Structure 1
């Protein structure tokens, strides 16, 4: 928040002593405490900041412990041999303890109009942000009042600049400063508002929510790789279904996936139903501590785009195998959505989609070889997911694959023979397909 905005939004520091809050060092990871104390002993101010403080106050276990200090990145690196400096837009220090990484940020300051270290786009988005300042200025730069809380390792007090403790107690999510300016500085804040509202069971205050729909198109200016990572945080949180519905309500999902905009605005559409069912299943797995893959969810998001593409090519008399292949490539390579799906996930998505036709056909003994395919389980689960939405024959096919996995060799032969009988019955009912050349 620049100086011209901060004049209208004044912070009021409240220092809460240790005797009046529930945060204890036992709630903070050992590695985060090591960093806090080394900074303090090095003569610098050191604070646990943001979500770590917020979550402990809420009685939650923080996922990350972020630290703020008045030491510069170079000074931080001088204190820690296990430090690496990252980022251009935000210069940060990562203190690495094996797989555990503690992020340390230098306290941020305001931008002067002629500041060489701060740069904005024509939409007001911050492109470079290495202006350092005081803790008061840093608090103004935070996004939500509930995140502008600083736990001081020197005396174990909490520094609350924007009424964050009260906001937490009142279950309110309130943006610091002028909402339109803050969203323009970083449009991803709109996504964070939705994520925190669902995660923390908070209500977004009226001034904070009012500009979101009109500013939602600013998400199209965000790098696609960053939006993909934000999607993972939003939809793979264990509360993905509620988050998705709120994203649609505020027209944010439609900016990330403009190709699905019309479909998700109608709850009766197959796309909307498949996404909801996929998120319901994903939430259940996450909350049980079971493994999930983003590939499965993104396969569900875009499945009916593939089906539409396949039908387009079939209508052009392209053979079915080629029609499926062309449709899959068209969807994954189209650039119609504003995320970049990493290859490690897109290759799995391709296999899940491509195996659907093979699972549906169950072509004789060859179909048993599908059971040995490394991606069979994901493709089978996806078939069951589709059957929950599409119903009809797909339900029977899903049950057949369930049975054949649980059957011995003799029972598998019986199940395979049933396919031949059923296929003959269906073929008698089929009408011969007339080619376009005959019709003309």
Structure 2
């Protein structure tokens, strides 16, 4: 990447900075074979074809891209005519997906700048804006217009397969070198167009270690309420990208810093804003740190466990309150879990297959307290036992559950049949508890005398 002034002003449309192949580090050898096939085929059909977005950004930073996205002047229908292995998706943004087995190359037509006046048009208008929120946008334009429609400058860099040059219309190379995240255009307007950009700002800042430019950062403290306008199912997908990225703990801390977390998980935020016995509640932080560790070690993670962590505090609080009113522990947990899920679902829609597993993790917690007789033998064969046990260990590490209980279940899993019999004998455990208490009583007497 060539040297440049990191504080230079954004380039005006129509006056791009073009970096010829000898002056940048991006190479075709770094691009997936499937993406190259799409790029070359579009070019052969006399269409423009550019690698764009995160793929270009990550390659320039020396990272391995997760996806390779392509921008072209071909319409989605024209892309489908070129590739038999293509499907058109999306109503809000019409896209073409070209399939190579399990690999998908996303192809987007250059977006036009359009006009917000289309909001009063017909129901099938190509561009619809309601209260600043773009609900449909399928107006096509030039590459210059497309660059202005992208979110952050570092995501608006184009690699032209025709001559292998980099094209920068908005000063993205300067921001990339400076480690700076900056929205294209007026930040307040761009956030209102798509409030999910606030979550993307947090994600990119954590992922890349970039600072957020002040004008881009300031609205994050003020516009969190706009996330309520985003479909709850879309927020579920976006939050998985945030929390299953390997830096979930940092994401969590930034979301709370900007006040965004409370708009997504208000019940959890209300719990975290309090302290218990003068100590802050640390379970969520420990749970997210554990998820980051598992991802770093290439161990499996599930959205059910993630959301069990994020929503545990309001569940735990209601569980305790219901028991104080006289409900049996397991029944109280079931009621608490149901209430929290009903309240949360309109905000972030958790798919049923994950929601059921999440609730099983919670409802097994009171059962893990029952260690007499045959109960532990039945519980250890439960298909969700391991997830519930891992959850119990996290609770114990956070000081919220009895560490001895977590230790007992750890031992029980590896114990011999004879040892398990002793461990589940209530009279034997009462004797052990009695022997542990005696020194403490004697110590207290000696101290009193």
In the superposition, the TM-score normalised over structure 1's length comes to: 0.91
Give CA deviations for 1:396-420 in whole Å, capped at 9, x if unaligned. 1111111111111112122223675
1:229 aligned counterpart, secondary structure: helix
Which residue of the partner structure matches residue 217 of structure 1? 225
User: 1:80: Cα distance to partner?
Assistant: 0.6
Which residue of the partner structure matches residue 404 of structure 2? 396
In the alignment, is the contact (CA less than 8 A) between 1:364 and 1:419 conserved in 2? no
Which residue of the partner structure matches residue 238 of structure 1? 246
Alignment partner for residue 23 of structure 2, among 20, 29, 46? 20
Which residue of the partner structure matches residue 438 of structure 1? none
Inter-partner Cα distance in structure 1 for 2:213 and 2:427: 58
Gaps of 5+ in 1: 1-7, 430-440
2:12 is aligned with 1:10: yes
2:301 is aligned with 1:298: no
1:150 aligned counterpart, secondary structure: strand
User: 1:288: Cα distance to partner?
Assistant: 1.2
Give CA deviations for 1:162-215 in whole Å, capped at 9, x if unaligned. 111121111000111000010000001011001000100100010110111111
Inter-partner Cα distance in structure 1 for 2:427 and 2:304: 31
Which residue of the partner structure matches residue 433 of structure 1? none
User: 1:261: Cα distance to partner?
Assistant: 2.5
2:321 is aligned with 1:319: no
> Structure 1 residues 169, 40: CA separation in 2 closer, same or farther (over 3 Å shift)?
same
Which residue of the partner structure matches residue 107 of structure 1? 110
User: 1:114: Cα distance to partner?
Assistant: 4.1
In the alignment, is the contact (CA less than 8 A) between 1:241 and 1:276 conserved in 2? yes
Inter-partner Cα distance in structure 1 for 2:275 and 2:146: 42
Give CA deviations for 1:188-243 in whole Å, capped at 9, x if unaligned. 10110010001001000101101111111101110000111111011110000111
1:362 aligned counterpart, secondary structure: coil
Equivalences for residues 109-188 of structure 1 within 5 A: 109-115=112-118, 116-122=125-131, 124-188=132-196
2:366 is aligned with 1:363: no
Which residue of the partner structure matches residue 351 of structure 1? 360
> Structure 1 residues 272, 13: CA separation in 2 closer, same or farther (over 3 Å shift)?
farther
User: 1:350: Cα distance to partner?
Assistant: 1.2
Alignment partner for residue 283 of structure 1, among 276, 292, 304? 292
1:333 aligned counterpart, secondary structure: helix
User: 1:313: Cα distance to partner?
Assistant: 2.6
Q: Comparing 412-421 with 228-237, which one deviates more in the overlay?
A: 412-421
Which residue of the partner structure matches residue 35 of structure 1? 38
1:290 aligned counterpart, secondary structure: coil
Give CA deviations for 1:114-152 in whole Å, capped at 9, x if unaligned. 443111112x00011000000000000011110010000
User: 1:391: Cα distance to partner?
Assistant: 5.4
1:364 aligned counterpart, secondary structure: coil
Inter-partner Cα distance in structure 2 for 1:217 and 1:185: 13
User: 1:337: Cα distance to partner?
Assistant: 6.2
Q: Comparing 357-366 with 202-211, which one deviates more in the overlay?
A: 357-366
Alignment partner for residue 334 of structure 1, among 324, 332, 343? 343
Equivalences for residues 376-391 of structure 1 within 5 A: 376-390=385-399
Alignment partner for residue 384 of structure 2, among 375, 384, 395? 375
In the alignment, is the contact (CA less than 8 A) between 2:373 and 2:426 conserved in 1? no
2:151 aligned counterpart, secondary structure: coil
Q: Comparing 353-362 with 46-55, which one deviates more in the overlay?
A: 353-362
Gaps of 5+ in 2: 1-9, 119-124, 438-449
2:136 aligned counterpart, secondary structure: strand
Q: Comparing 14-23 with 260-269, which one deviates more in the overlay?
A: 260-269
1:334 aligned counterpart, secondary structure: helix
User: 1:369: Cα distance to partner?
Assistant: 1.6
